[in-house]
Amino acid sequence: MKKVRIFVLEKRKTQLFCWTALTLLLACISLWVYLSGLPANTFVDPKSGIIVIDPGHGGIDGGTNKDGILEKEINLDVSRKLRTFLHEKGYTVVMTRDEDIALDHLNNTGQNRHQRDLNARLDIINGSNAQLFLSIHVNCNFKKTSTDGGIVFYDDTFAENKRLAYCIQRTLNGMEIDGIKRTIHDPVESEYYLLSFSKIPGAIVETAFMSNSTERHLLTTDEFREQLARAVADGAEIYLKQSGEVLLPDSHYKRHILIN
């Protein structure tokens, strides 16, 4: 009798193990089917409250310049101000750089210094567990120096990129300088390395035009840089707090200017 009881007990243990293993296997298969059924550009928001700010250029890479005014310095100062405003709104901020340096020394992959620099920025962005990233730049169009205003660039890597771009574009378009509005732009879909290879939504924010004499002068002032930073922070907050697409009326000023 003892042998029979032991046999039955061992059989029940074996059955329980098999059922447990089968349940786990089915759960794994279901999860795989679910994830594989998601579109390639689906972003699962971690709701982390983290935002990455990427001040463009830095160090040996000065970016665009005119009359001794360097883009890299403007980008960093606007980004620091943007960080302050986002902190005030309750967000945690990760900076790809917080001083005048290039980042190529942080990554050894890439065919040249510029590629290594971008990959280092991607390392920070993709390892941040952030909800979005903002790459801050200054634009230029020396062939048409009258061009002014801010333009936000996005791509279709994530559906959220477009909504983020529209939110920030709206707040940049709403800026006034001495009671006068700058040129209103639509956000522009384009291909940028950071946008294409980031694992989180993001936008390239071209805050103003170095090639425009009026905006070039304004970019040297603390007040204008602060105004730009506040507009970008407000746009990012709108994106994070609203669901669905934020639409803007079509602009009469669509300019596809890719300067980086």
CB neighbour burial string for 5-40, b if at least 16 within 10 angstroms, e if fewer: eeeeeeeeeeeeeeeeeeeeeeeeeeeeeeeeeeee
CB neighbour burial string for 154-178, b if at least 16 within 10 angstroms, e if fewer: bbebbebbbbbbbbbbbbbbebeee
Residues paired with 51 in a beta bridge = 93, 132
Q: Is 93 helix (H, G, I), strand (E, B) or coil?
A: strand
Residue type (1 letter), 211: S
The answer to whether the CB of 188 falls within 8 A of the CB of 151 is yes
The DSSP string of 128-187 is TT-SEEEEEEEE--TTSTT--S-EEEE-SSSHHHHHHHHHHHHHHHT-EETTEEPPP---
Residue 22 confidence (pLDDT)? 60
What is the C-alpha R_g of the chain?
Answer: 24
pLDDT tens-digit series, residues 132-154:
999 999 999 999 999 999 999 99
**Nearest Cα to Cα of residue 118 among 8, 176, 194, 216:** 194
Low-confidence stretches of the chain (pLDDT < 70) are 1-40, 243-260
* Structural domain boundaries in the chain: 50-245
Residue 238 confidence (pLDDT)? 98
The answer to whether the CB of 57 falls within 8 A of the CB of 75 is yes
Q: Which CATH number applies to 50-245? A: 3.40.630.40
Residue 33 confidence (pLDDT)? 43
The neighbour count for residue 90, using CB atoms within 10 Å, is 8
The DSSP string of 5-43 is HHHHHHHHHHHHHHHHHHHHHHHHHHHHHHHHHS-TT--
| Segment 12-21 long-range contacts (CB within 8 Å, at least 24 positions apart) | none
| DSSP state, residue 97 | -
How far is the C-alpha of 24 from the C-alpha of 38, rounded, in Å?
21
pTM above 0.85, yes or no: no
Residue 41 confidence (pLDDT)? 76
Residue 79 confidence (pLDDT)? 98
Residue 12 confidence (pLDDT)? 61
Q: What ranges in 158-260 are assigned the alpha helix state H?
A: 159-173, 193-197, 213-218, 222-241
Q: Which helix (H) or strand (E) holds 207?
A: strand 202-209
